[in-house]
Amino acid sequence: MKKIVTLGEIMLRLSTPGFERFVQSDSFDVVYGGGEANVAVSLANYGHDAYFVSKLPKNEIGQAAVNSLRRFGVHTDYIVRGGDRVGIYYLESGASMRPSKVIYDRAHSSIAEADASDFDFDEIFKDADWFHFSGITPALSEKAAVMTEEALRAAKRHNVTVSVDLNYRKKLWTPERAKEVMSNLMQYVDVCIGNEEDAEKVLGFKPGKTDVTSGDLELAGYKDIFEQMMKKFGFKYVISSLRESYSASDNGWSACAYDGKEFYHSRKYDIRIVDRVGGGDSFAAGVIHGLLEGKDFKDALEFGVAASALKHTVLGDFNMVTKDEVETLLKGDASGRVQR
């Protein structure tokens, strides 16, 4: 059982039931989620001691967010209570050629306005094995960028392995600002996860021609970029999930990775989508779990892909699947036959 720390925002997710559109819905389904929180839940599900670090207001909505993490075994000891509000995102699920829609209402959240001094990072990273963050955390605000670097410095002081999911969010910052902040933070990172859009927007790398809407994936371009990234930042591993959007209802899902020697392309899953939000987070968590368990890199990658393929069939941001369920799929049984 490893101690893993993730740092970021957990939001209130308000989603319309089933396929209802925003303008016709009389109720919202309520869950809580966010990149790093989602990673923490997956790792708790796999049996690790996962700690999610954030700030949430001292009201019942903040408490409900805390409870949602505790429910799935995430440690919430390092969550600071204060500030004004829980960030929100509204979600409408698409179908067929109608895309899903996300409306963010996250400005001024407690974590976006938190100060590095709210957290005792030396206490937090004591005996920790892994630290994971995403490009969303430093994008929340200037203070959040400072806080993220503070956390990274502390992690390194405690010899903690660091992974990042680049996760570019155009509503939060410009590519210029992203490059400025993130290029600096990369010095602390061991494992870098991010797709081609992230690599370009966040770090300025540009692969060969890939057109995400056509499902035309140019693996060669990925390899080229991964080599550049490794060379520039000294990552140990560079990894990307690969999504082929046939429609809002059906996707292809695989991943590729580079360990400095070999370039891998995983098994590909064709998925009938139930809920694709958090797919990337569950992939990151799966790979981290594989590496923490000492799997070889290729196997860790496959664990990540299988875990995140399953996520697409699970409602909510959190990937509520067990290690056993991922292993069963890894062994090749994707037939979906009833388990009695």
| CB 57, CB 86: distance < 8 Å | yes
Query: Which class for 96: exposed (0-12), middle (13-18), buried (19 or more C-beta within 10 A)?
Result: exposed
Between residues 190 and 196, which has the closer beta carbon with respect to its own copies? 196
Q: How far is the CB of 5 from its own copies (least distance, A)?
A: 19
At its nearest, how many Å lie between its own copies and the CB of residue 325?
8
CB 279 within 8 A of CB 252: no
Distance of alpha carbon 93 from the chain centroid? 19
Cβ proximity to its own copies, 261 vs 340, nearer residue: 340
270 is catalytic: no
For residue 169, which of 128, 220, 134 has the smallest C-alpha distance?
134
Active-site residue, selected from the candidate residues 118, 198, 281, 317: 281
Locus of tokens 């140019």: 218
Cβ-based neighbour number of residue 170 at 10 Å: 11
Q: Which is nearer to its own copies, 223 or 276 (CB)?
A: 276
User: Could you give the CA distance from residue 198 to residue 194 in angstroms, rounded to a whole number?
Assistant: 6
Q: Whose Cβ is closer to its own copies: residue 8's or residue 316's?
A: 316
304: left (phi over 0), alpha (psi -120 to 50) or beta: alpha
Q: Which residue stretches of 158-272 are H helix? A: 175-185, 196-203, 219-233
DSSP-derived pairing of the beta strands 250-258 and 269-272: antiparallel
Q: Which is nearer to its own copies, 105 or 299 (CB)?
A: 105
Nearer to its own copies, 105 or 218 (CB): 105
Spatial separation of the C-alpha atoms in residues 118 and 80, rounded to whole Å: 7
Give the Cα separation of 160 and 176 in Å (integer). 29
Give the Cα separation of 4 and 67 in Å (integer): 19
Q: Which two tokens stand for residue 4?
A: 């893993």
Calpha distance 100→80 (Å, rounded): 32
- Cβ 160 vs Cβ 5: under 8 Å: yes
Q: Which of 197, 199, 196, 206 is nearest to 182 (CA)?
A: 199
Q: Minimum Å distance from CB 161 to its own copies? A: 27
Distance CA 317, CA 91 (A): 11
Q: Give the nearest distance from C-beta 267 to its own copies in angstroms.
A: 11
Q: Which is nearer to its own copies, 287 or 329 (CB)?
A: 329
Least distance between its own copies and beta carbon 85 (Å): 5
Looking at the annotation, which residues are catalytic?
Answer: 281
